[in-house]
Amino acid sequence: MRTTLTLEPDVAARLKQKIRRSGKGLKTLVNEALRLGLGLSGKPVRAPRFDVRPHAFGFKPGVDLDRMNQLVDELESGETARSSGGDPARRQPVTTRL
C-alpha cells in the first residue's frame, strides 16, 4: 500500500540515525517499527485453529456408514422406477444390506 506519512521531527531524526547505522532503507525500517508497535513482530501469521467437534448421530451398531451413499442411490433409482409408470410386475424390489 502506498501512502504519505508526516513524521514528527524527533521520529524523523531517529529514523535517519537508524538508516545510517543499519544500512536498511526507510521503507524497511518503518515497516519493522510498525510491526513491533502493533505487536506483530516475530509472530507468524496463522489462521485460527480449526476445531472438530464430534456429533453422535444415533445410528444403531452394525450400520455401515460408508455404504450410506449406495443406499441413497438405490432408493432413488427405485423411486424413479416407480414414478416412471412402468409395468409393476417387471419392477425389481429395492434391497440393500447395511
Give the pLDDT confidence score for residue 10 in this predicted structure.
Answer: 95
**Residue-by-residue pLDDT tens, the chain, 98 positions:** 888 989 999 999 999 999 999 999 999 999 888 888 888 876 666 778 888 898 888 888 887 888 888 888 888 888 777 777 655 555 566 565 65
Q: Where are the domains of the chain?
A: 1-43, 61-98
CA 22, chain centre distance (Å): 40
Of 76, 67, 59, the closest CA to residue 98 belongs to 67
